[in-house]
Structure 1
């Protein structure tokens, strides 16, 4: 990057960064919605068919990257499937926009402390950290469930478990960052010191997994392949969201920096 481009990045205002983060998030949300639609909607339809056939007697909720399928009475859903499909793209776009703003604020705050101002190289690292905290760790500790899995009366309980899992993910990421800073300040560079940040973060996730209560979800009578395919679709959606967010935000920041 040229000296002019570096100066343009340094002079970037918080408002400008946030606007670019919002735009990047909306783009990423639409892409994630497309992945969720292609990989997950047919699985949702299959799960609903199982529920309607009486194979699983519980009302439920399901989530693929923020999409909620909530059923009302036994005969009719509160929201039609067409409405749910349209709501999927709205939900992923809003989620992407919110994460984009958050990413922009965190990036701006952190990189302002660097000697030469904001560094675009940190954007993808922050996106990976966001994915780890809000998607990867919760996916491991409280995996998402499709329709026909989980009773309605346990929704609040499972939501609380998910929030705890996100907090554990954030704690793991912050711990990794702090230990990295500490390791960089230490003389020498032994293999153990280099591995310490990852080990500390992994230890937090493992301890959280061990102490986090069971969700009490009954999976009996539900096809295992459908369950795991749904979870893989959810993971692919979240990965697309954060990867696209990081790439789009970095592109928009660098494009602004290279202007003139």
Structure 2
């Protein structure tokens, strides 16, 4: 596989419509999504204070929601958004334009690193790495550890299971309560969003013959959000330390929603 870039092929107003719809359905699962983005940005900005022209990589960037928010917070940084899905990546290109170098690549394939410069300063992700197997994730972390400058940061915001089923049940209750208070219940779900996007002929230029999306996530339900690899935050931190990061742990948590951060 070779990492590739390309043009969007759709009007910007169509992309804006679908990115807004994407963000709305994601908030149905993560009602504290903007807070989560802001806390992640706080961590990255803190780690990179004083770094001139930092390079930040968004892993599984989707339609660019996290990249765009970080670009507003860190206008002096350069961004690389990496995703395997042509439709999501095309939406990012069409809506956010040159906010990042948008690269189509599969993070489970070690060749994805062809898209990286020799040195990066931060790698970030939001609700994207749960689908990777433990072995693939460990390899990804090793790749990032080898490329990240000393003092650089890795920050991943995602749903990660807790210690046992009883705690996970309580986390579900916490999530439901937050969604109700935020008014995000009843939102369009992940599966219907994809069905509608694939049926929209305006997005035809962005489609691939086969979308590289995990079948286990097709319902957009609990399995998707708790993570198909079922790694806890502590397990992520252990893999990051093994990959060469000096410090790793949970920096923020809301129920089973975690921000795991590692410092190189």
Where relative contact order (Cα < 8 A, 6+ residues apart) is larger, the structure is 1
User: Which structure features the higher share of helix residues?
Assistant: 1
Q: Which bin holds the TM-score, normalised by the shorter protein?
A: under 0.3
User: Which structure features the higher share of strand residues?
Assistant: 2
Task: Select the structure of larger CA radius of gyration.
Answer: 1
